[in-house]
Copies of this chain bind each other. A is one copy, B any other.
Amino acid sequence: MSFNLENFLPYKLSLTSNTVSEHLSKVYSEYSLTRTQWRVMAVLSMGGVTAGKIAKKTLMDKATISRAVKVMIVRGLLTRRASQEDGRASPLKLTTKGRKIFENIAPKAIQAEKDIFQRLSKEQRITLEHLLDILLA
Contact assessment for A119 and B106 in the assembled complex, using a CB-CB cutoff below 8 Å: no
Which chain B residues border A14 with CB–CB below 8 Å? Answer: 17, 20-21
Contact of A16 among B7, B106, B132 (CB under 8 A): B132
Contact assessment for B42 and A5 in the assembled complex, using a CB-CB cutoff below 8 Å: yes
Residue A43 at the B interface, CB < 8 A?
yes
A37–B112 CA distance with the chains assembled, in angstroms = 32
Which chain B residues border A79 with CB–CB below 8 Å? Answer: none
Residue A45 at the B interface, CB < 8 A?
yes
Contact assessment for A135 and B109 in the assembled complex, using a CB-CB cutoff below 8 Å: no
Task: Tell me the A residues contacting B by CB distance below 8 Å.
Answer: 1, 3-5, 7-21, 24, 39, 42-43, 45-46, 58-59, 102-103, 106-107, 109-110, 112-113, 116-117, 119-120, 124-125, 127-129, 131-137
